[in-house]
Protein backbone atom coordinates (compact mmCIF):
# COMPACT_ATOMS: atom_id res chain seq x y z
CA UNK A 1 0.00 0.00 0.00
CA UNK A 2 1.14 3.52 -0.62
CA UNK A 3 2.46 5.46 2.33
CA UNK A 4 -0.03 7.81 3.98
CA UNK A 5 1.94 10.84 2.83
CA UNK A 6 2.06 9.65 -0.78
CA UNK A 7 -1.66 8.95 -0.77
CA UNK A 8 -2.33 12.47 0.52
CA UNK A 9 -0.09 13.85 -2.23
CA UNK A 10 -2.06 11.91 -4.80
CA UNK A 11 -5.32 13.24 -3.42
CA UNK A 12 -3.85 16.68 -3.92
CA UNK A 13 -3.26 15.79 -7.56
CA UNK A 14 -6.82 14.57 -8.10
CA UNK A 15 -8.19 17.83 -9.44
CA UNK A 16 -12.04 17.80 -9.46
CA UNK A 17 -13.43 19.20 -12.68
CA UNK A 18 -16.99 20.51 -12.80
CA UNK A 19 -18.01 18.89 -16.09
CA UNK A 20 -17.58 15.98 -18.47
CA UNK A 21 -17.41 17.82 -21.77
CA UNK A 22 -14.50 19.18 -23.73
CA UNK A 23 -12.10 21.33 -21.76
CA UNK A 24 -10.19 24.26 -23.16
CA UNK A 25 -6.56 25.20 -22.87
CA UNK A 26 -6.01 28.38 -20.92
CA UNK A 27 -4.64 31.48 -22.64
CA UNK A 28 -2.66 32.07 -19.46
CA UNK A 29 0.64 30.34 -18.89
CA UNK A 30 3.32 30.29 -16.24
CA UNK A 31 6.29 32.56 -15.88
CA UNK A 32 9.80 31.13 -16.30
CA UNK A 33 11.04 27.55 -16.42
CA UNK A 34 9.62 25.16 -13.82
CA UNK A 35 11.90 23.64 -11.22
CA UNK A 36 12.83 19.99 -11.69
CA UNK A 37 13.87 19.59 -8.04
CA UNK A 38 11.99 17.30 -5.66
CA UNK A 39 12.22 18.71 -2.14
CA UNK A 40 11.83 16.33 0.83
CA UNK A 41 11.03 13.31 -1.35
CA UNK A 42 9.05 10.39 0.07
CA UNK A 43 9.45 7.18 -1.94
CA UNK A 44 6.79 4.47 -1.88
CA UNK A 45 8.68 1.26 -2.78
CA UNK A 46 5.42 -0.62 -3.38
CA UNK A 47 4.49 1.59 -6.34
CA UNK A 48 7.83 3.08 -7.44
CA UNK A 49 6.49 6.63 -7.10
CA UNK A 50 7.94 9.48 -5.08
CA UNK A 51 6.06 12.44 -3.63
CA UNK A 52 7.67 15.89 -3.42
CA UNK A 53 6.64 18.34 -0.73
CA UNK A 54 4.74 20.55 -3.21
CA UNK A 55 2.47 17.64 -4.17
CA UNK A 56 4.23 16.64 -7.39
CA UNK A 57 4.45 12.85 -7.78
CA UNK A 58 6.99 11.29 -10.15
CA UNK A 59 8.28 7.82 -11.05
CA UNK A 60 11.98 7.27 -10.35
CA UNK A 61 11.75 3.51 -10.90
CA UNK A 62 9.49 0.83 -12.35
CA UNK A 63 8.34 -1.90 -9.98
CA UNK A 64 6.12 -4.94 -10.33
CA UNK A 65 2.61 -4.54 -8.99
CA UNK A 66 0.82 -6.95 -6.66
CA UNK A 67 -2.47 -8.21 -8.08
CA UNK A 68 -5.35 -8.73 -5.64
CA UNK A 69 -6.46 -12.32 -5.18
CA UNK A 70 -10.09 -11.20 -5.40
CA UNK A 71 -12.36 -8.17 -5.23
CA UNK A 72 -15.88 -7.94 -3.76
CA UNK A 73 -18.78 -8.75 -6.06
CA UNK A 74 -20.23 -5.69 -7.79
CA UNK A 75 -23.91 -4.92 -7.08
CA UNK A 76 -25.17 -4.99 -10.65
CA UNK A 77 -28.81 -4.91 -9.50
CA UNK A 78 -28.25 -1.49 -7.93
CA UNK A 79 -25.46 -0.11 -10.11
CA UNK A 80 -26.26 -1.64 -13.50
CA UNK A 81 -23.49 -2.57 -15.91
CA UNK A 82 -22.16 -5.66 -17.66
CA UNK A 83 -20.88 -7.96 -14.90
CA UNK A 84 -21.41 -8.90 -11.27
CA UNK A 85 -18.33 -11.01 -10.49
CA UNK A 86 -14.77 -11.13 -11.79
CA UNK A 87 -15.25 -14.69 -13.08
CA UNK A 88 -17.29 -13.12 -15.89
CA UNK A 89 -14.31 -11.04 -17.14
CA UNK A 90 -12.71 -13.40 -19.65
CA UNK A 91 -11.69 -11.14 -22.56
CA UNK A 92 -8.10 -10.91 -21.26
CA UNK A 93 -5.84 -11.87 -18.35
CA UNK A 94 -6.32 -10.46 -14.85
CA UNK A 95 -9.93 -9.40 -15.33
CA UNK A 96 -11.84 -7.83 -12.41
CA UNK A 97 -15.47 -6.70 -12.21
CA UNK A 98 -15.47 -3.24 -10.63
CA UNK A 99 -17.50 -0.11 -10.18
CA UNK A 100 -14.81 2.55 -10.23
CA UNK A 101 -13.79 5.72 -12.13
CA UNK A 102 -12.50 3.74 -15.13
CA UNK A 103 -15.95 2.21 -15.71
CA UNK A 104 -18.37 4.71 -17.25
CA UNK A 105 -21.63 3.12 -16.18
CA UNK A 106 -22.02 0.79 -13.22
CA UNK A 107 -20.20 -2.54 -12.96
CA UNK A 108 -17.74 -3.39 -15.72
CA UNK A 109 -14.67 -5.49 -16.47
CA UNK A 110 -11.25 -3.94 -15.84
CA UNK A 111 -8.18 -5.83 -17.08
CA UNK A 112 -5.23 -5.37 -14.79
CA UNK A 113 -1.44 -5.62 -15.18
CA UNK A 114 1.58 -6.67 -13.13
CA UNK A 115 4.45 -4.99 -15.02
CA UNK A 116 4.97 -2.45 -17.80
CA UNK A 117 5.44 -5.37 -20.20
CA UNK A 118 1.74 -6.20 -19.79
CA UNK A 119 0.78 -2.82 -21.27
CA UNK A 120 0.77 -1.41 -24.77
CA UNK A 121 2.99 1.20 -26.38
CA UNK A 122 3.03 4.55 -24.58
CA UNK A 123 1.64 2.98 -21.41
CA UNK A 124 2.97 1.84 -18.03
CA UNK A 125 1.50 -0.37 -15.34
CA UNK A 126 0.44 1.80 -12.40
CA UNK A 127 0.02 -0.09 -9.12
CA UNK A 128 -3.15 -0.03 -7.05
CA UNK A 129 -1.70 2.57 -4.67
CA UNK A 130 -1.93 4.93 -7.66
CA UNK A 131 -5.04 3.73 -9.49
CA UNK A 132 -7.41 2.41 -6.84
CA UNK A 133 -8.50 -1.20 -6.35
CA UNK A 134 -6.32 -2.89 -8.99
CA UNK A 135 -3.21 -2.06 -11.03
CA UNK A 136 -3.90 -0.93 -14.57
CA UNK A 137 -2.23 0.37 -17.71
CA UNK A 138 -2.15 4.17 -17.98
CA UNK A 139 -1.01 6.59 -20.67
CA UNK A 140 2.69 7.52 -20.47
CA UNK A 141 5.20 9.32 -22.67
CA UNK A 142 7.92 8.39 -20.16
CA UNK A 143 8.35 5.30 -18.00
CA UNK A 144 10.79 6.57 -15.36
CA UNK A 145 12.84 9.68 -14.60
CA UNK A 146 15.67 8.14 -16.64
CA UNK A 147 13.65 8.87 -19.80
CA UNK A 148 13.57 12.59 -18.96
CA UNK A 149 17.24 13.54 -18.85
CA UNK A 150 17.61 15.94 -15.93
CA UNK A 151 13.83 16.17 -15.53
CA UNK A 152 11.18 14.08 -13.78
CA UNK A 153 8.62 11.61 -15.11
CA UNK A 154 5.67 13.33 -13.48
CA UNK A 155 2.26 11.83 -12.69
CA UNK A 156 -1.07 13.54 -13.30
CA UNK A 157 -4.31 12.17 -11.83
CA UNK A 158 -7.48 14.09 -12.67
CA UNK A 159 -11.14 13.29 -12.08
CA UNK A 160 -14.38 14.89 -13.20
CA UNK A 161 -17.58 15.51 -11.31
CA UNK A 162 -19.12 12.79 -13.47
CA UNK A 163 -16.83 10.14 -11.99
CA UNK A 164 -14.33 9.47 -14.77
CA UNK A 165 -10.61 9.48 -14.00
CA UNK A 166 -7.55 10.13 -16.17
CA UNK A 167 -4.03 9.15 -15.13
CA UNK A 168 -1.01 10.04 -17.27
CA UNK A 169 2.77 10.36 -17.03
CA UNK A 170 4.94 12.81 -18.95
CA UNK A 171 8.40 14.37 -18.63
CA UNK A 172 8.57 17.55 -16.59
CA UNK A 173 11.70 19.49 -17.52
CA UNK A 174 12.90 23.05 -17.95
CA UNK A 175 11.22 23.21 -21.36
CA UNK A 176 7.82 22.47 -19.79
CA UNK A 177 5.29 25.27 -19.55
CA UNK A 178 4.48 24.76 -15.89
CA UNK A 179 4.66 22.69 -12.74
CA UNK A 180 1.82 22.06 -10.30
CA UNK A 181 0.60 25.36 -8.84
CA UNK A 182 2.68 27.58 -11.14
CA UNK A 183 0.01 28.62 -13.66
CA UNK A 184 -1.07 32.25 -13.80
CA UNK A 185 -4.45 33.39 -12.51
CA UNK A 186 -7.42 33.35 -14.89
CA UNK A 187 -10.38 35.65 -14.24
CA UNK A 188 -12.99 34.97 -16.92
CA UNK A 189 -14.88 31.90 -18.09
CA UNK A 190 -17.85 32.17 -20.45
CA UNK A 191 -18.22 35.82 -19.45
CA UNK A 192 -18.20 35.17 -15.69
CA UNK A 193 -15.52 36.78 -13.56
CA UNK A 194 -14.15 33.88 -11.50
CA UNK A 195 -10.72 33.94 -9.92
CA UNK A 196 -8.96 30.61 -10.23
CA UNK A 197 -5.64 29.05 -11.22
CA UNK A 198 -5.60 26.63 -14.19
CA UNK A 199 -4.30 23.11 -13.66
CA UNK A 200 -0.85 22.09 -14.89
CA UNK A 201 -1.53 18.87 -16.85
CA UNK A 202 0.33 16.82 -19.48
CA UNK A 203 -1.49 17.74 -22.69
CA UNK A 204 -0.23 15.63 -25.62
CA UNK A 205 2.76 14.73 -23.46
CA UNK A 206 3.65 18.33 -22.57
CA UNK A 207 2.98 19.85 -19.13
CA UNK A 208 0.80 22.89 -19.88
CA UNK A 209 -1.60 25.21 -18.07
CA UNK A 210 -5.10 23.89 -18.71
CA UNK A 211 -8.23 25.85 -17.84
CA UNK A 212 -10.43 22.88 -16.96
CA UNK A 213 -13.00 25.07 -15.17
CA UNK A 214 -14.63 25.88 -18.54
CA UNK A 215 -15.59 22.27 -19.28
CA UNK A 216 -19.08 21.22 -20.30
CA UNK A 217 -21.60 19.59 -18.00
CA UNK A 218 -22.82 15.99 -17.67
CA UNK A 219 -26.20 16.49 -19.27
Residue 36: pLDDT over 50 = yes
DSSP designation for 64: P
CA separation, residue 71 to residues 85, 94, 115 (Å): 8, 12, 20
Which distant-in-sequence residues (6+ apart) come within 8 Å of 130 by Cβ?
2, 10, 47, 49, 138, 155, 157, 167
Per-residue confidence band for 192, with pLDDT thresholds at 50, 70 and 90: low
Per-residue confidence band for 10, with pLDDT thresholds at 50, 70 and 90: very low
Q: How large is the average pLDDT for residues 108-120?
A: 93
Per-residue confidence band for 159, with pLDDT thresholds at 50, 70 and 90: low
DSSP designation for 107: B
Residue 62: pLDDT over 90 = yes
pLDDT of the residue at 112: 94
Residue 66: pLDDT over 90 = yes
Per-residue confidence band for 22, with pLDDT thresholds at 50, 70 and 90: very low
**8 A C-beta contact, residue 141 and residue 205:** yes
Residue 30: pLDDT over 80 = no
Percent of the chain, pLDDT > 70? 69
User: Which of 65-69, 77-81, 194-198 is most confident?
Assistant: 65-69
Q: How large is the average pLDDT for residues 98-117?
A: 82
Q: What is the mean pLDDT of the chain?
A: 78
CA distance 207 to 88: 39
CA distance 28 to 214: 14
Q: How large is the average pLDDT for residues 150-174?
A: 82
Residue 6: pLDDT over 50 = no
Beta-bridged to residue 160, according to DSSP, are: 17
Per-residue confidence band for 16, with pLDDT thresholds at 50, 70 and 90: very low
Per-residue confidence band for 50, with pLDDT thresholds at 50, 70 and 90: very high
pTM as predicted:
0.75
Amino acid sequence: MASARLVLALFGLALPLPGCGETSASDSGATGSPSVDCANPVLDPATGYEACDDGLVHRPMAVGCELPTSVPACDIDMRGGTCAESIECLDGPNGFCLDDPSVLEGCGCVYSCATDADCGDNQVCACSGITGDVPRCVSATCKTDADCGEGLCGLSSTSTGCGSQTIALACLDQNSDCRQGSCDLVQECFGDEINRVPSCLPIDGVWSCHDDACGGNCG
